[in-house]
Chain A
Amino acid sequence: MTAAVATRGLGKRYRSNWALRDCDLVLPAGRVIALVGPNGAGKTTLLQLAAGLIRPTTGSVALFGELSPAESAPALAQLGYVAQDHPLYRRFRVRDLLHMGRALNGNWDQALAEGRLADLDIPLDKPAGRLSGGQQAQLALTLALAKRPRLLILDEPVASLDPLARRDFMKTLMATVADGDLTVLLSSHNVAELERVCDHLVLITGGRVQLAGDIDTLLDTHRSLTGPHTHVPDGPRVIHVDRGDRHAHVVAQVGAAEPMPGWEARPVGLEELVLAYLQRSQSGADPAYVAKELQP
């Protein structure tokens, strides 16, 4: 399996705060990867490290087996990056931004860029700062895609958009991903938003990876259990326990085939699973769960 992004012992400290610690991840190529976590969890830090925008305090990051793109033009050519709030040179006309892309990128696909903008009814002569939020996001995505990247990183791409623009953005993004072997890594603090489009998940809180793996594998290896609150199971495979008056509700790492006498087991939903790991991380539990086939 080719790793689009591989990190080893990756950490970033700002003054005395660790924004990210001990991050060992292998993100497979050709997938749509959701990076999920509450605000301030370290998502942006991880994405900026992957893109070479900031330097790690510890460890290393590699894209497609090579070094970080911080100082390597070939690595930069493989990367499309849309930062949070999709920053653009606001006084540049749309046409100027395309000119910039063409001037700075060897693989620039002008026809793709112009075609996408025409489909989206974004006028080339308007200054970028006068476009709507949704149009600016689409333009930023277009600039990233016209580089013909192998890895597209999007940091909270729809957080600042209204629901309609949000839906349109995700729709065009998925249409792009459908044809081609592009790897997409996108972050959000909203799991539900990503559930339909992603097939791989990384959950991060407090600067640490809590859960990482193929979404189907994660759902297959976890169960939602309901049973008597007097005999609540314990151990590292129990992710979260919610004690009611008569019943306890448990999310545990249990395969579908495993018998659980006395407990009613049903498949777990992605949101429920993420919530269980979030609550576990708040209680201070340590070990992160990494789906087996992805352990580096």
Chain B
Amino acid sequence: MIWLIWRQHRGELLGAAILLTLLGVLLLTHGVAMHQAYDRDGVGACQLLMFDSDPNGTGEGCPETVSSFDDRYAELPSQFASWLPFLPMLVGMLIGAPLLAREFEQGTWQLAWTQGVTRTRWLGSKLAIVLGGVLAVSAVFAAGVTWWFGPLAAQQFTSGKFNHAPLVFPAYVMVAVSIGILAGVVVRRAIVAAAITVGGYLAVRLPVEFGLRPHYREPATTADPAVAETGWNIHDAEYGVGPDGSTIPGSTLTFKYHPDDRFWEFQLIETAILAGITLVLLVIAWRLVMGRRSDRTDGNEALPRVGAARVE
């Protein structure tokens, strides 16, 4: 089985190697230069001081240091940060969607399933090796991006850093690949499955990132906007509210934020949610490939279906 899977997916393996090589080149050129400038010019200390609400504490020349660092280095990583969220979707379309759909599309499932290995072993090995490979490559990729994005901000809790941390990023890749696999099993056409992967991925990503993520914990509050900026400022400032729901006159503005030390806790929560979705999708795909329970000879056919719509 391992040989067959390697032979079928060596193209994808080559693609992954090229992707990691390109990232490596970026890190060695732009990334190394950025890190050197960051250490040499004391950018980190300045980024921290910028949050300080006390104007006397602001280091001499710090705004200039940070802005010239940003001008010089921030452009490229920021662009990557804006399109990298689509990379998991692309992986889902290119690896997940055709994984089983192509077998059905070209009829080769019949060739594969009449060799001397059982369907359980065929599907188990295929999923384990391909998903394991995708997971490993995406984790390495995310680790590289995390190192690269490090100097861009003093706090960890930026969307660029959060989305590409080595937990959440691979988890999004796995969700996208699983959506592609399940869609491929259901529609049995690689192109259609790839299109469904786009919709499915966005249907998971957008609600999780923008709907759920700010609510994993009750945000901390502060009256000082600079403190909110040391973590993830969720831009939900409001005035004090009385028991009747009306704004208390003369009250101060309260800022809501998630402190920076919640980063890994939030990572774990989001990863667990995504892993759960992945698992459900894969179990459904597994059961569909193995043959639905209703297809089996279990005597259910003899039972009348009273008042229940049949679920296909």
- Complex contacts, B1 vs chain A, CB 8 Å: 103-104
A residues 79-95 touching B (CB-CB < 8 Å): 79-81, 83-85, 87-90, 92
Please tell me which one of the listed residues A76, A84, A101 contacts residue B107 in the complex, with CB atoms under 8 A apart. Answer: A84
- Complex contacts, A54 vs chain B, CB 8 Å: 291, 295
A residues 278-293 touching B (CB-CB < 8 Å): none
When the two chains form their complex, are residues B115 and A105 in contact, meaning their CB atoms are under 8 A apart? yes
A59 within 8 A of partner (CB): yes
Please tell me which one of the listed residues B116, B291, B312 contacts residue A76 in the complex, with CB atoms under 8 A apart. Answer: B116
B110 within 8 A of partner (CB): yes
Rounded to whole angstroms, the CA-CA distance of A60 and B119 in the bound complex is 18
When the two chains form their complex, are residues B296 and A89 in contact, meaning their CB atoms are under 8 A apart? no
A39 within 8 A of partner (CB): no
Beta-carbon nearest neighbor of A71 in chain B: B118
When the two chains form their complex, are residues A79 and B4 in contact, meaning their CB atoms are under 8 A apart? no
When the two chains form their complex, are residues B117 and A89 in contact, meaning their CB atoms are under 8 A apart? no
When the two chains form their complex, are residues B111 and A143 in contact, meaning their CB atoms are under 8 A apart? yes
When the two chains form their complex, are residues A103 and B297 in contact, meaning their CB atoms are under 8 A apart? no
- Least distance between B152 CB and chain A CB atoms (Å): 42
- Complex contacts, A60 vs chain B, CB 8 Å: 297
A51 within 8 A of partner (CB): yes
Q: A51-B114, A76-B115, A79-B114 are in contact. Are A99 and B297 (CB under 8 A)?
A: no
Please tell me which one of the listed residues A55, A69, A88, A140 contacts residue B295 in the complex, with CB atoms under 8 A apart. Answer: A55
Chain A residues with a Cβ closer than 8 Å to the other chain, count: 43
Rounded to whole angstroms, the CA-CA distance of A101 and B117 in the bound complex is 11
- Least distance between B224 CB and chain A CB atoms (Å): 62
When the two chains form their complex, are residues A58 and B117 in contact, meaning their CB atoms are under 8 A apart? no
When the two chains form their complex, are residues A73 and B4 in contact, meaning their CB atoms are under 8 A apart? no
- Least distance between A155 CB and chain B CB atoms (Å): 8
- Complex contacts, B8 vs chain A, CB 8 Å: 89
B215 within 8 A of partner (CB): no
Rounded to whole angstroms, the CA-CA distance of A258 and B190 in the bound complex is 61
When the two chains form their complex, are residues B114 and A80 in contact, meaning their CB atoms are under 8 A apart? yes
A residues 58-76 touching B (CB-CB < 8 Å): 58-60, 69-73, 76
B21 within 8 A of partner (CB): no
When the two chains form their complex, are residues B115 and A56 in contact, meaning their CB atoms are under 8 A apart? no
Chain B residues with a Cβ closer than 8 Å to the other chain, count: 25
Beta-carbon nearest neighbor of B121 in chain A: A73
Please tell me which one of the listed residues A52, A57, A92, A100 contacts residue B115 in the complex, with CB atoms under 8 A apart. Answer: A100
Please tell me which one of the listed residues B3, B110, B291, B295 contacts residue A81 in the complex, with CB atoms under 8 A apart. Answer: B110
Beta-carbon nearest neighbor of A56 in chain B: B297
- Complex contacts, B108 vs chain A, CB 8 Å: 87-89
Q: A15-B312, A87-B107 are in contact. Are A96 and B116 (CB under 8 A)?
A: no
B113 within 8 A of partner (CB): yes
Beta-carbon nearest neighbor of B116 in chain A: A105
- Complex contacts, B7 vs chain A, CB 8 Å: 92, 96, 99-100
Q: Most chain-A CB neighbours within 10 Å: which of B108, B109, B111?
A: B111
When the two chains form their complex, are residues B3 and A103 in contact, meaning their CB atoms are under 8 A apart? yes
- Complex contacts, A69 vs chain B, CB 8 Å: 114
- Complex contacts, B107 vs chain A, CB 8 Å: 83-85, 87
A residues 112-135 touching B (CB-CB < 8 Å): none
- Complex contacts, B120 vs chain A, CB 8 Å: 71
- Least distance between B101 CB and chain A CB atoms (Å): 14
A77 within 8 A of partner (CB): yes
Rounded to whole angstroms, the CA-CA distance of A13 and B190 in the bound complex is 25
Rounded to whole angstroms, the CA-CA distance of A73 and B121 in the bound complex is 10
When the two chains form their complex, are residues B118 and A76 in contact, meaning their CB atoms are under 8 A apart? yes
Beta-carbon nearest neighbor of A101 in chain B: B115
Q: A55-B291, A70-B119, A81-B114 are in contact. Are A100 and B297 (CB under 8 A)?
A: no
When the two chains form their complex, are residues B119 and A71 in contact, meaning their CB atoms are under 8 A apart? yes
B251 within 8 A of partner (CB): no
- Complex contacts, B116 vs chain A, CB 8 Å: 73, 76-77, 104-107, 147
Q: A76-B118, A99-B3 are in contact. Are A88 and B111 (CB under 8 A)?
A: yes
A174 within 8 A of partner (CB): no
Rounded to whole angstroms, the CA-CA distance of A70 and B121 in the bound complex is 12
A53 within 8 A of partner (CB): yes
Rounded to whole angstroms, the CA-CA distance of A84 and B118 in the bound complex is 21
- Complex contacts, B117 vs chain A, CB 8 Å: 73, 76, 104
- 7 smallest CB-CB distances across A and B, nearest first, come from A87-B107, A81-B114, A83-B110, A104-B115, A105-B116, A55-B291, A55-B295
Q: Can you offer 10 A-B residue contacts whose CB atoms are under 8 A?
A: A15-B312, A53-B113, A55-B296, A60-B297, A70-B119, A76-B117, A81-B111, A83-B110, A89-B8, A90-B106
Q: A56-B295, A101-B115, A147-B115 are in contact. List 6 more A-B contacts (CB 8 A).
A: A54-B291, A55-B295, A58-B301, A81-B110, A103-B4, A144-B114
